[in-house]
Amino acid sequence: MTSEPDERAFQALTQQISRARGLACGSYKDRCLRRRIAVRMRARGVHTYDEYRQVLDTDPHEYDLLLDALTINVTKFFRNLETWQALAPRLAALWTERAGHVRAWSAGCASGEEPYTVAVALAEAARQGGQETLLERARVDATDIDRTSLERTRAPAFPDAAFSEMPPELTRRYFTAEPPRHPLPALQRIVRVRKHDLTSQPPPAPPYDLIVCRNVVIYFDRALQERLFETFADALAPGGILVLGKVETLFGPARQRLVLEEPRERIYRRAGAG
């Protein structure tokens, strides 16, 4: 059980972080927030929240390291392959309906695997439809609040371990041969990387035909999750698709606007014509 002085010190710390970096600490699940802060406290060899506040005061770079710890999101290419397999025919249909003008948003892009998975999936839809030349019409907005994630996504180079769930033929088709592997230029041209805070900023460039936000909202409290689901519903074009993580469940008013098409894979579609 947390003591009252300890709780006051924790609140003072989170308020300081919010003021300094604009991070909505109050929207994170309490247990998650405490656990991630504890990681940085151990790394700096301090034992109380007040001591950690002093570290932040004397070393502003620690804010960046803390933000990295708070927003960490480990992923791989085509993580949960069955989700992407279920999505493939829907992307093919979108590709045809939009004549290649498909707009996708990878919200919480981590180190780049997810947005480049989206780019590969779109490229495959174009290739299988005999429309490779139309790939340049597509766009994937890759956003995150984490500085390190954005740097890695802007200069994409991936170890072999990142491809363990990706079909080998796709790895050969869309990435360079030797590790660290780089996406081919045709993919890099359609991925646009930008800093974006899901908790406080509007979607970067709606409307979107596809929004992929997996294993991100689970870290937030219920009120913010509900607000984000509404944001996603607003940002989708009619007939657009939302993909959540397998452990994430849509709730709140957005459920009236988004139809669950693949329960196991958490694939939703906004009502309305494409």
Residue ranges per structural domain of the chain: 4-71, 81-270
Strands 208-213 and 236-244: parallel
**Quick check: 3 pLDDT over 70?**
no
Taking the C-alpha atoms of residue 127 and residue 125, their distance in angstroms, rounded to an integer, is 6
What band does 18 get if pLDDT is binned at 50, 70 and 90?
confident
pLDDT (0 to 100) of residue 74? 66
Does 2 score more than 70 pLDDT? no
pLDDT tens digits, one per residue of 192-213: 999 999 988 999 999 999 999 9
| pLDDT surpasses 60 at 274 | no
Q: What confidence score (pLDDT) does residue 1 get?
A: 47
For 135-160, give one letter per residue: b (16+ CB within 10 A) or e. bebbbbbbbbbbebbbebbeebebee
The predicted-structure confidence for 133-169, as pLDDT tens digits, reads as follows: 899 999 999 999 888 889 999 999 999 999 999 999 9
Residue 177: the pLDDT is 94
Strand ranges across the sheet with 236-244: 191-195, 139-144, 103-107, 208-213, 236-244, 267-270, 258-262
Q: Indicate the pTM of the whole model.
A: 0.83
- Tell me the pLDDT of the chain averaged across its residues: 92
Tens of pLDDT, residue by residue over 35-53, are 889 999 999 999 999 999 9
- Domain 81-270 has what CATH class? alpha beta
